Every structure is written in structure tokens, then in C-alpha cells.
Amino acid sequence: MKKFCLLMIMITVSRLSAMQPCALPCANIDACQNNQTSHVSVFANALYWQAGEEGLDYMIKNNTGATFINCGNVERVKFDWNGGFRVGLGYCHDCCPMGVNACYTRFTTGGNDSVSATFPEVLFPVWSNPSTNIVTEKEAQTRLKLLFEAVDLQLSTLFSPNCCVNLMPVLGVRYARINQRFNINASGGQSLGPIAFVLDDAIAMKNNFWGVGPKVGINSTWGSWHGLSIFGAMDFALLSGTFDIKQREDIVFTDGVPATTFLNIKDNRFHLVRPNLNIILGLQWDWQICGGHALCFSAGWEQQFFFGQNQLMRFSDDVNPGVNTAVQGDFSTRGLTVAVSYSY
């Protein structure tokens, strides 16, 4: 918490540097012709986000025995709320209110969950390979890790239909990297082939993606009361990139005996185009300082959405072990973005 508070106090700049890279609300283009100057902005954001994704269920807990799932609860692991940052630079010229900026975003988080069952409760595994013939488990723990990084390069220009509304179309390029780890350890279960009790069922999965592609969007500010206004921004990108998927399952049946490997997908790389949608809405306060300097403080709720990001495979046939279905789960982030921008 202390690290997050310190990050909030840092000199930061928000996505508003993209909205107003020249700090020119209601800019007068004609007046600018007689006073051609350029502006530079430095920016960074303090992020407090939570990630979410489909396909993070790991056990089904049934409260009334192992014959049917007739009173079941789906156990899922969730990502924790955590801090991140965004930093960058911007440049524009007053004579033509068009700006260029670049920024880097980094966000890391993780998650843990556990579940246990006492008779007549049982746990049905979700990710175990059918060839293990595991019927039930007694307890399970799971862990998540996430690394999200993005680099944005964009051009923007200012359009003011009136003195209270500023619109800024955005055109650029986005690079994103999303690395995920999803590990499950279960024990106390029973396998029917061979018939044995499970001391440790260890499942390790990696779902990595990187992509780059074009990005378009619109940024806006609405109203102004002593420098206070509402801001909103939305952009859409098509990221052409590569998935790298790895999955492994090792089971220990007897203490002191090496684990038996039932699944080991070492190489599963493929190319896909993934859509990405971002949106932010909040309040900002602009402060014009003498000598062409300006500060802008903002706080907003930001959400990102990546379609079909979870490409982990669920195996479903104990006769043909290659039969599988990709999860195709969507990935998202949501949370608070607090910022201060400085331009000169």
C-alpha cells in the first residue's frame, strides 16, 4: 500500500496527454499563427487495477458424494488488485494543434485460491488429463501470475466544435505483451488406472502472447468550470501476434517414487489477430501557469478488453488423448487511473 501511495504522489501524466498534448483547450488557431511555439509534455500514470479472465475454474466441489454433480460449486481463482504505471513523452506545435506521443504501460499481479473437501464432499478436477483416470480429489491449491506490458505510439489532432467540447481523433500503433502462469496442485484423490491414491497432481500451464497492430480512437473533454471538466477516451486496436502455450501434468502416486508425466505440451506456437478495446472516463482539472507551462490532474476509471486471450487447451478423451478444445476466454483489466501531466 505504501508503494502505491508513493506512486500516486509521483509526477505523472495521464492518457490526457494524448487528449491534450499541447494543453490547448478551446485553442484559437488564428491567434496561433502569429505566435508559433512548440510544447513538450512528460507523463506517467499511477494504476490500481484488477485483471479478469474466462476459463480460470480449477475444481468443482460437490457436497453430496462422487456419483453425480447434483450439488456442485465451481471453484475459480481470481487476480488480486495491484498497482502499475504508465510513463511517456509527448510533443506538439501550437500552429497546427497536432501532437505525437509515446507511452509504456506495465502491470503485474497474481492470485491464489484453495479448496478442500470432507466426506461426503468431493472435488472433481477440471484440468486433469482424462488419461490419468482421476475420479476425485480431496484438496487443491492454485496460483496465478500475470505480466501485462504495452507500448503506444500515436498521432492526434485537436478539433473543438465549441469552447466547451474538445475532440481529438487518434491514429497510431500498439504493441502488447500478456504473459500468464496458471498452476494447480491437488492431492488426496484416487486414480482408477492404475488404481492408486494421488499424493500430488501437479498441473503447470503457460499462456503467453505478444502482438502489434494499428490503433484508432477518439479522446474528448466536456465542459469547463474553473478548469474542471469531464474527460473520456476510447480506442480500438487489432494486434497481429503469436501465442506460446505450454501445459504439463505430473502425478506422484507413491512417496519417494518419481512422478509420472501424463501430459507435456512443450511446443504450441501459432499466429492470431486479437482485437483490443480500451476505454476511460473521469474528471480532470487544468491549471495554466505563466510562461507557457501547464499542469493537468486527473482521475478516471479505465478498462481494457482483449478478445479470446485464454488459449489453454482442455483435453476430453481418455481413448484419444489428442482430442482437446481451446478455452477461448476473454481477458480484461479494470480499475483506477490517477495522473498529473506537465507540459511546457
Q: What is the pLDDT of residues 142-188, one digit of tens each?
A: 999 999 999 999 998 888 888 788 899 999 999 999 999 999 999 98
Distance between CA atoms of 132 and 122, rounded to whole angstroms? 17
Kindly indicate the confidence band of residue 115, based on its pLDDT and cuts at 50, 70 and 90. Answer: very high
Interval 26-40: pLDDT, tens: 233 333 333 445 678
Kindly indicate the confidence band of residue 95, based on its pLDDT and cuts at 50, 70 and 90. Answer: low
Dihedral over alpha carbons 7, 13, 15, 18 (to 10 degrees): -160
Over residues 261-279, the mean pLDDT reads: 96
Place of cell 488406472: 193
Beta strand pairing status for 159-162 and 134-136? unpaired
Per the CB < 8 A criterion, the answer to whether 44 and 88 are in contact is: yes
Distance between CA atoms of 240 and 314, rounded to whole angstroms? 24
Per the CB < 8 A criterion, the answer to whether 304 and 277 are in contact is: yes
Interval 74-85: pLDDT, tens: 999 999 999 999
Number of Cα atoms under 13 Å in the Cβ half of residue 185: 7
Domain count of the chain? 1
C-alpha distance from residue 298 to each of 12, 57, 156, 245 (Å): 10, 37, 19, 39
Bridge partners of 45, per DSSP, are 86, 339
Indicate which CATH number applies to the domain containing 251: 2.40.128
In this structure, which amino acid lies at residue 241?
G
Grid coordinates given for 68: 453425480
In angstroms and rounded to an integer, the radius of gyration of the C-alpha atoms of the chain is: 25
Sheet holding 190-192, edge to edge: 134-136, 190-192, 195-197
Question: Considering Cα of 194, then 197, then 200, then 204, what sign does the dihedral take?
Answer: positive
Cβ-Cβ contacts under 8 Å for 293 (sequence gap 6 or more): 342, 343, 344
Per the CB < 8 A criterion, the answer to whether 222 and 167 are in contact is: no
Over residues 64-68, the mean pLDDT reads: 85
- The domain of 306 spans 2-343
- E-assigned strands of 132-268? 134-136, 139-157, 159-162, 165-187, 190-192, 195-197, 200-225, 228-252, 260-265
Q: What is the pTM of this model?
A: 0.85
In this structure, which amino acid lies at residue 244?
D
Phi, psi of 3 (to 5 degrees): -65, -40
Per the CB < 8 A criterion, the answer to whether 147 and 178 are in contact is: yes
218 has pLDDT over 90: yes
